[in-house]
Structure 1
């Protein structure tokens, strides 16, 4: 529980004895910051308001300003004045709802121009303001996926340019990574290769709500069992052929030597 809110309730009976400047009202935007919105969809921001028993909300205002830029000017999107807190948006696609302890801003047809800083301001019955801000950005698709290798550490590293909330996965020869091939890091961006030697095709796939992109690292072709068998057969045939040629040469030489000896012996007998 918020400490300020707790103290307000505990010391409420003493409020009449304290200065009028003391107030316990607070506001908190529930959305986790920053908020990413897909273009064309709706931006919804919710705020929770806390106030003591003697406090009363007299006005709620939602405003917008660019996140960056030198000429950033805050623009009122909707104002909810008076006890009824009836809200009026400044644009047709802006809607604000108010409850006893909360307010919701909705912008339909979100576009890149709607990215920026949103501020909700709550005014109490004494005119004191309490504000909170929230950064809103466009949800972007995945761009420019690249895979690089660290040969000394047998690592493949996958990087992505600027996509929102990217998710990484790996494929080896178009199939899921197994422990025999490698191990993926906790964030999915790094693949520790266990296969040796490093060969084949490693593909990194990066995806988010708007689609996916991929890149492939191609190592040397792997020697399959059939290739090794074929290579062994070829080597055996070459050895047999070489052996046959060598045997033929030896036989021919041996025959030539024998013919010379017989010719020599025949000549001696004639003489």
Structure 2
């Protein structure tokens, strides 16, 4: 074996032993999993294709199957064959574009029937396939908001059924929660009331992109400081009035008694004179 042939075999061996970054292909969906889509809007999924200098994309395939159910029923959304990565859309509302370094799937007029697991499969020139998946679901409005109470610990907890990305906030007597009323947990679901017992009206509001829903917990009415002072003043006034009335009644009774005693003595004196 001459020197040139030996070097060729050496280069081939080095290529086979090269790290995967030089001769392996990978694909990654950039969108956060799961993806929630509002019905009537567009679903857009982006994928990044990574490959080494020795690799070449020969086929890109987008597919969809139900998230649950057996056996899975796959639907081909689009295929992009050939070195030029020209895509053929298989669904009427789908449009796929692809390049050597990435691909984008766009579905117009999203409906609940478009829910499912979307998979992108990239095939290299040697027929090796690499796949990435992403779950896509319908964006749901908030449902069935409720408030539960732990009276012994002065805690109110807000719950919501199955809405997408619910955001929680609290109102006390139609105003935002102040430090004097209590504190709210980081997720917004729990309200720690600073006063005991709990009194007044507490409202939990849950919102997302499609609207809001509320639930209210009504406790016993609160006695404010002003009302407490007014009640105390009223009681004091009542006591004073009762005391004054008692004194006045005693003075009148005593005067009447003296008058009666004087009349009796005058009558006795007249009788003695006769």
Could you tell me the TM-score, scaled by structure 1's length?
0.86
Q: Deviation of residue 260 (structure 1)? A: 4.1
Map residues 190-269 of structure 1 onto 2, 5 A cutoff: 190-269=190-269
Q: Deviation of residue 158 (structure 1)? A: 0.8
Question: In 2, Cα distance between the equivalents of 1:124 and 1:110?
Answer: 31
Q: Does 1:167 align with 2:170?
A: no
Question: In 1, Cα distance between the equivalents of 2:13 and 2:133?
Answer: 32
Change (3 A) 1:16 1:235: closer
SS in 1 for 2:68: coil
SS in 2 for 1:235: helix
Change (3 A) 1:180 1:12: farther
Change (3 A) 1:58 1:155: same
After TM superposition, the structure 1 stretch with the greater mean CA deviation from structure 2, 183-192 or 258-267, is 258-267
Q: Deviation of residue 257 (structure 1)? A: 2.8
Question: In 2, Cα distance between the equivalents of 1:45 and 1:213?
Answer: 30
SS in 2 for 1:162: coil
Residue of structure 1 equivalent to 2:124: 124
Residue of structure 2 equivalent to 1:156: 156
After superposition, give the CA deviation of every residue in 1:92-126 in whole Å (9 maximum; x if it has no partner).
21011111211111111111111110010011111
Q: Is the 8 A contact 1:12 1:53 kept in 2?
A: no
SS in 1 for 2:258: helix
Residue of structure 2 equivalent to 1:177: 177
SS in 2 for 1:40: coil
What stretches of structure 2 of length at least 5 have no aligned partner?
A: 1-10
What stretches of structure 1 of length at least 5 have no aligned partner?
A: 1-10
After TM superposition, the structure 1 stretch with the greater mean CA deviation from structure 2, 216-225 or 63-72, is 216-225
Query: What number of residue pairs does the alignment pair up?
Result: 258
Q: Is the 8 A contact 1:12 1:52 kept in 2?
A: no
Residue of structure 2 equivalent to 1:62: 62
Question: In 2, Cα distance between the equivalents of 1:260 and 1:35?
Answer: 101
After superposition, give the CA deviation of every residue in 1:50-95 in whole Å (9 maximum; x if it has no partner).
1222211110100000101234211101011111211111122101
Q: Deviation of residue 36 (structure 1)? A: 0.9
Q: Is the 8 A contact 1:95 1:107 kept in 2?
A: yes
Residue of structure 1 equivalent to 2:49: 49
Question: In 2, Cα distance between the equivalents of 1:183 and 1:143?
Answer: 25
Residue of structure 2 equivalent to 1:87: 87
Q: Deviation of residue 243 (structure 1)? A: 2.8
Change (3 A) 1:43 1:255: same
Question: In 1, Cα distance between the equivalents of 2:51 and 2:161?
Answer: 44
Question: In 2, Cα distance between the equivalents of 1:25 and 1:17?
Answer: 16
Q: Is the 8 A contact 2:151 2:198 kept in 1?
A: no
SS in 2 for 1:49: strand
Question: In 2, Cα distance between the equivalents of 1:117 and 1:16?
Answer: 35
4+ residue runs over 4 A deviation: none
Change (3 A) 1:81 1:203: same
Could you tell me the TM-score, scaled by structure 2's length?
0.86
Question: In 2, Cα distance between the equivalents of 1:42 and 1:52?
Answer: 33
Question: In 2, Cα distance between the equivalents of 1:189 and 1:147?
Answer: 9
Q: Deviation of residue 233 (structure 1)? A: 4.3
After TM superposition, the structure 1 stretch with the greater mean CA deviation from structure 2, 73-82 or 213-222, is 213-222
Residue of structure 1 equivalent to 2:143: 143
